[in-house]
Chains A and B, each alone.
Chain A
Amino acid sequence: MNDPRPIPSPEDLALYAMQALSADEMAAVAAALRDNAQAQQEFARIQSDLALLALSTEQQPAPAGAFDRLKARMHENAAATTVAAKPVPTAMPPMTDTAYEIAPAASRRSKWTVFTPWAIAAALAIACSILGYRVSSMNDALDGESRLVSNLAAKASHAQQVLEVLNAPDAQRVTLTATQTAPAPTAHTVYLAERGALVMEASHLKPVPADKAYELWVIPASGGAPIPAGTFRPNSEGYASLVLPSLPSGVQAKAFGITIENAAGSSTPTLPIVLSGAAGD
């Protein structure tokens, strides 16, 4: 009794699918696969895994003209098939040994007599294939030209309609402009550095969440860290003000900025800066 073929391991199946085994091992796995449905299923799963792997490659389009070259080969293939498929052997009359025995003296002449028609037939078959190919190519070209003509006709018709509309004397011509846009938020500060006194009023501010507030910052001209000048929240009409907040005196300002911070305020500004302006602007 023969031993059953060993079931190939999944590891070997994977290597087999990748052709990464030696020739002997490849043959052994192929033979074992033939008899084992379970291994065949796993092999199919591995092939699917490998298809995914193949798809992981950087995608490149096929080279330009690749399909035309393929098409030419498809036609060559068809022509070769047509010639090969000509039933030359079966169409030949049966020639027995007896026939040669009856006319040995005329064998040379009879060979020409036999082969000449077949040579002509073969030439005709090749000519037909070439003609068929040319007809097919011309049909393809004609189809392409027809599509091109249709496209051009459609584009011309569309252009004509556009011209008619633009030139129509009774057409209504109306210029549309942007509707009123929301006013931009603005803020004005008046700052007296030697006293550390500041008054700010802002308008058109957007509402902020309940746990947030706007905060004004004085940016010192000396390059020091921004100084918080107080938090504020706009009213329902977007208006807010700060009057004489607590600020150190004697700090020249380079600029002012407003950010959105937590409602309690912050010691450093959080980007983005919602409004800003340089001193002297």
Chain B
Amino acid sequence: MLTRIGQRDENAMEEIFRRYSGPVYSVALRVLRDSSQAEDVLQEVFLQLWRKPAAFVQNRGSLGAWLVVIARNRAIDVLRRRKPSDSVDDVVLASTVNVADEAERNTMMEKVRRVIADLPMEQRKSLELAYFEGLSHTEIASRTGDPLGTVKTRIRQALISLRKAFQP
């Protein structure tokens, strides 16, 4: 599919958009809480794919997962009103998170939500403030009144719980 996009095949682009636009738009909307800005992020992410399909390295994770991570990072950039941060855009994923199939994706989303809901409240709060609200660890520490090290550990522990839930 990416090869076809490299050959300027708009049908291939439409197919990829059909598969992944929902998750990409949803994460942008979650961060920005503004449908207009979220669509801007959606457009930017897919335009980036159209311009540089080679930026995604196929054997290093799934395209859908890559797109949602890029979308989240772009949305945070918009939230902080700053230029896109290229360094973090070099997104390489360790595992193949298959989000192409809608049924499989829905099952996985449910599982992720359950894991997040089961996290200790402090861990969940720190994780969401960092990931969806775009707060730095110092801002989180300042807001919650917790030591910086505690905030870091909580975020790390939350991600470990998430990872363990999906280990075979």
Contact = CB atoms under 8 A, between A and B. Distances in A.
Interface of A: 10-12, 14-22, 26, 30, 40-41, 43-63, 66-67, 69-71, 73-74, 77-78, 140
A60 B25 contact: yes
Interface of B: 8, 10, 13-14, 17-18, 21-27, 29-30, 35, 39, 42-43, 46-47, 50-51, 60-61, 65-66, 68-69, 71-73, 76, 85, 87-88, 91-95, 97, 99, 105, 108-109, 112-113, 116, 127, 130-132, 134-138, 140, 152-153, 155-156, 159, 162-163, 166
A209 B17 CA distance: 57
Given A53-B131, A61-B25, A74-B50, A66 B108 contact: no
A43 B87 CA distance: 13
A46 B162 CA distance: 10
B11 to A, nearest CB: 9
A66 B46 CA distance: 11
Given A55-B112, A66-B21, A74-B13, A19 B97 contact: no
A11 B156 contact: yes
A54 B42 contact: no
Contacts of A59: 22-23, 26, 109
Instruction: Count chain A CB atoms within 10 A of each CB in B8, B127, B159 and give the residue with the most.
Output: B159
Contacts of B29: 57, 60
Given A10-B156, A16-B88, A52 B97 contact: yes
A58 B38 CA distance: 14
Nearest to A56: B112
Given A15-B155, A52-B112, A53-B162, A44 B68 contact: no
Given A15-B155, A17-B88, A77-B51, A50 B131 contact: yes
B25 A66 contact: yes
A63 B35 contact: yes
19 contacts: A11-B153, A14-B152, A15-B152, A18-B155, A19-B88, A22-B138, A26-B87, A44-B60, A44-B93, A48-B94, A48-B95, A53-B127, A54-B71, A55-B97, A55-B99, A60-B26, A60-B29, A61-B21, A62-B21
Nearest to A51: B65
Given A52-B112, A70-B17, A70-B43, A63 B68 contact: no
A74 B47 contact: yes
A247 B44 CA distance: 82
Contacts of B109: 55-56, 59
A40 B93 CA distance: 10
Instruction: Count chain A CB atoms within 10 A of each CB in B73, B99, B112, B138 and give the residue with the most.
Output: B112
Instruction: Count chain B CB atoms within 10 A of each CB in A17, A54, A78 and give the residue with the most.
Output: A54
Nearest to B47: A73
A45 B163 contact: yes
Contact of A50 (B13, B22, B72, B108): B72
Instruction: Count chain B CB atoms within 10 A of each CB in A11, A50, A58, A62 and give the residue with the most.
Output: A62
Contacts of A53: 112, 116, 127, 131, 159, 162
Contacts of B162: 49, 52-53
- Report the 8 A-B pairs with minimum CB-CB distance, sorted nearest first: A51-B65, A62-B21, A44-B94, A11-B152, A54-B68, A57-B30, A56-B112, A45-B94
Instruction: Count chain B CB atoms within 10 A of each CB in A30, A56, A73, A78 and give the residue with the most.
Output: A56
B47 A77 contact: yes
A25 to B, nearest CB: 9
A46 B65 CA distance: 12
Nearest to A18: B130
